[in-house]
A and B are shown apart, each in its own frame.
Chain A
Amino acid sequence: MSDRWCVTRNGVAVALRDVPDLSLDVMSADVVAAVSAGARLGCWSGDGEGRIVAVLVDDAAGELRVARARVGDRYPSLTPSCPQAHLFERELAEQFGPVAVGHPWFKPVRSHARWTPGPDAWGRAADMPIVPGVVETFRVEGEDVHEVAVGPVHAGVIEPGHFRFQCHGEQVFHLEIQLGYQHRGIERAAVGGPHPQTLHQMEAAAGDTTVGHTWAHCLVLEALADVAPPPVAQDLRATMLELERLANHVGDLGALAGDVGFQPTASFNGRLRGDFLNLTAALCGSRLGRGMLRPGGVRFGADEARRRDMTHRLHAARRDVTGSVELLFHTPSVAARFERVGIVRPEEATAAGLVGVARRACGTAVDARHDHPVGAWLQTRVDPAICGEGDVQSRAWVRWLEICDSLELVDRLLARPLDGELRVPMPSLRPDHLAIGLIEGWRGPVLHLGLTGPDGRLTRYKVVDPSFHNWMGLALALRDEQISDFPLCNKSFNLSYCGYDL
């Protein structure tokens, strides 16, 4: 990778004057070269001032590389030579207008009007109402080919999204996913902040990843303000993050069991998921971890009695989860439905830039806790859990391996003293700086990027939920599958709509 770029680390702020202003051609070429050498495009977004800010995540080196470049109304698309950029380029066009010329499937992401004054990337008039979901969709033509359209409102208690399948009988040729229904303006509202409501909006960027997103947000603000939370707060954040992972992974394995009609694990895990949410509530009063993480530290500690009670409950849940999940993986009819279904090949995962559980299920050992450690992960080593088949079974198995690891981690964290100094005061943010927060949430890495202006207020705040990278993985998994396997494949990814829509 080129040494033109500014090299930084997770949770370390850099002065904007040290972030190079490259020409767009040079920056694009550097991205293509770095991605082909194994880096991942973590961010390719407008800064609101006519530039693109690019972040390359180098997991092997534990480094983050940042550069920026001025962009006009049109520029040659990066996507044909770097497919990972496809959604970032569409997002950039929707938010700030630059047209990626040569993008193979250039359309809006979240169905909203351009943020800044100027021509719309799709030539829509300023007074034209933007109707969500009314976009061009890929269409297969031919005899016996039919189209299945689902959503935005679905049959269950789930978030809205539109799915369109091109089918030949049962066989799916192509699935196209159009979201944006949950778009509520989180990034746009953060500009000029942090405002009093900003933290609450980050807690609600994706409710099931409250701790992941809030930690990434706190990490950015703490880096920009140049403060370090007390060690106890770091341990408490890690405990919260692992409890969040446990609750969601346990729930997902139950949901997968339900989707193949295996009722015992579906029922047991539905309840056990609640046990982990209740452990989170034992720490902070909220089952989703609201009100715990604050810039500078955390709100609540745990004395010895509380830690002992939580450990006791953790061990009880561990016994029941182990029994329930072993039942799942020892049942041949479950294996018959999990194995060789919804396969994503490793080269597809790399090209699409998949992250987190879905990527590890393709055999790639990446985990931000290991590759870009902050806080408690600096002392506590976490090895990525991998499995190589890229199918539903692999995604389920990676979750189980991570459940085992997280149970162990929480057990160890609860053995440490978790009270004392919990929080340090937050000074104002340093002007003209940039910081990146990268936290391995339960789906994968949650990336937050903050830029400050001369007054120390945020001029741009970017949130990248792992789902933003991984929805394409679901579409790839469905190729040549039966449409009846969609619920199972979908559940094996269990991606966030609101984290993507923001």
Chain B
Amino acid sequence: MKVALFERLSQGHQTSRYPAVLPALPDRLRGRPTVDAAKCPPQCRVCVDACGVQAIALDPMTERPNPRVDLGKCLFCGDCEEACPTAALRFGPEHRLATSRREHLTVQQGHEYALAEQLGAELMRLYGRSLKLRVVSAGGCNGCEVDVNVLGTIGWDLGRFGISYAASPRHADGMLVCGPVTRNMELAVRKTWQAIPDPKICIAVGACAIAGGPFAGHPEQLGGAAAVVPVDLFVPGCPPHPLTILDGLLRLLGKVRG
């Protein structure tokens, strides 16, 4: 007991002071990309070809290329950035990525990125101070689950924001889905959703849950949570940094703005 107390003193207080203070993020973190289309050479489509999951598209009508990055599909691997001959496409340190609508997950020059909005008045009244989520792992790689779980550790202490993970859908206010929703998990996801009392919300975490991730197009999966249930929050990444997930959850509850 005494030893445990000494060790506790030695390890000290470890909970992040976020959102008051932004924690240090790795300098090589690939957060939200930026596109400086003025640097794009005419006819260039190197980034489009470098992407393994077709997350980048060019508008056929424009004279100069202006790459459009779909962050719902993007794995944030950086292959496009590495291939870009003029550093027009760069991944930045920006961790704020979550949106309320699928079509808002777009990065393109001249396009403002619309971050997630707070829940409506009625849902805020019900869940603004206490949100219980049922997490369903539906066919990904367990990577998003890892970073969802991390928010429960002392480093992040998700409970201080009134958010926790529920062991039963009957006790939950919403569902958090990871994975592309495999055919073999479709029924379980539907049943979990049905078992959650109304009103309820659904959060899709990671590229798989948004658009199938690296498995997009496989007949073994459905291409994300939205194929099965309505989604209220999209958190892109493969997997998203825990701070990106937390930022999304707190935006939904109006606890982080701007």
Contact = CB atoms under 8 A, between A and B. Distances in A.
Interface in B139-165: 139-150, 152-155, 165
Given A184-B221, A199-B52, A327-B4, A281 B26 contact: yes
Interface in A9-65: none
A111 B184 contact: yes
B3 interface: yes
A271 B185 contact: no
B53 A282 contact: no
Contact of B146 (A188, A200, A288, A330): A288
B135 A157 contact: yes
B29 interface: yes
Given A264-B7, A287-B241, A291-B77, A181 B188 contact: yes
B142 A180 contact: no
A201 B136 contact: no
A185 B155 contact: no
A157 B148 contact: yes
A208 B142 contact: yes
Given A111-B184, A157-B149, A288-B143, A183 B11 contact: no
Contacts of A189: 215, 218
A126 B220 CA distance: 16
Interface string A320-333: 10011001001100
Contact of A320 (B11, B153, B168, B188): B11
Contacts of B10: 320, 323
A498 to B, nearest CB: 5
The interface size bin for chain A is: 35 or more
Contacts of B152: 157, 270
Interface string B37-58: 0000000000000011100000
A182 B28 contact: no
Interface in A179-195: 180-186, 188-189, 195
A196 B184 CA distance: 26
Q: Which of B28, B147, B154 has the most CB of A within 10 A?
A: B28
Contact of B142 (A153, A197, A203, A206): A206
A158 interface: yes
Contacts of A186: 215
Contact of B26 (A133, A264, A285): A285
Contacts, number: 188
Contacts of A278: 26
Given A183-B220, A271-B154, A282 B52 contact: no
A287 B27 CA distance: 12
A492 interface: no
A79 interface: no
B140 A182 contact: yes
A391 to B, nearest CB: 24
Nearest to B167: A155
Contact of A200 (B8, B29, B75, B153): B75
Interface of B: 3-4, 7-8, 10-11, 14, 26-30, 51-53, 75-79, 82, 91, 135-150, 152-155, 165, 167-168, 179-180, 182-185, 187-188, 192, 208, 213-216, 218-221, 238-239, 241
22 contacts: A110-B184, A132-B184, A133-B184, A157-B165, A158-B137, A182-B139, A184-B218, A185-B219, A195-B52, A196-B51, A197-B216, A200-B77, A200-B213, A203-B214, A204-B213, A207-B144, A267-B153, A268-B11, A285-B30, A300-B28, A323-B10, A324-B11
